[in-house]
């Protein structure tokens, strides 16, 4: 009986370890923004407008992350500014692999990043201790919202 319990426990532990963490990211639901805040150890300030809601996360390192949410509750854009680049895997979510593939296809590594795909745009620039960037889903922008508003 004991070996069976050990096997079941091991399988449960492997399944739990393999499960991806739940985080807010492009295309995800607004309710997951709190998970990001906790993961980053950040404080949050929310601004509501008729067109979208902005959740501003202030990370202890000094980096600010803004997550833009449409009236339908979808995260359509993220932006960051500060001394370090946030975890882009966390922020880009299911779009991270597209971003990585586009970065691998780039010829240069030392210039500002501009990834323009049909369903994803990522812009990033900066230097040591001063980084900024944004990512958004063009098709998910609420009516009347321009990419320039994601900053």
Q: What is the mean pLDDT of residues 4-26?
A: 41
Longest dimension (CA), the chain: 63
Is pLDDT of 22 > 50? Answer: no
pLDDT at 18 over 70: no
Residue 24 — very low, low, confident or very high, per pLDDT cuts 50/70/90?
Answer: low
pLDDT in tens, 121-151: 999 999 989 999 999 999 999 999 999 999 9
Please report the beta strands in the chain, taking only residues with DSSP state E, as ranges in sequence order. 43-48, 53-58, 64-69, 75-82, 113-117, 120-127, 130-136
Note the pTM of the prediction, 2 decimals: 0.81
Note the pLDDT tens digit of each residue in 57-84. Answer: 999 999 999 999 999 999 999 999 999 9
């Amino acid at each position: 009986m004991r070996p069976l319990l050990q096997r079941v426990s091991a399988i449960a532990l492997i399944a739990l370890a393999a499960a991806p963490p739940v985080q807010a990211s492009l295309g995800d639901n607004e309710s997951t923004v709190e998970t990001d805040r906790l993961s980053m150890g950040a404080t949050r300030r929310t601004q509501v407008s008729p067109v979208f809601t902005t959740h501003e996360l202030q990370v202890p390192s000094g980096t600010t992350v803004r997550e833009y949410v449409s009236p339908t509750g979808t995260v359509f854009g993220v932006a960051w500014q500060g001394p370090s680049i946030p975890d882009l895997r966390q922020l880009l979510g299911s779009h991270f692999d597209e971003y990585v593939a586009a970065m691998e296809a780039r010829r240069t590594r030392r210039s500002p990043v501009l990834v323009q795909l049909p369903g994803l745009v990522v812009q990033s620039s900066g230097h040591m201790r001063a980084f900024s960037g944004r990512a958004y889903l063009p098709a998910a922008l609420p009516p009347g919202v321009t990419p320039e508003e994601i900053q």
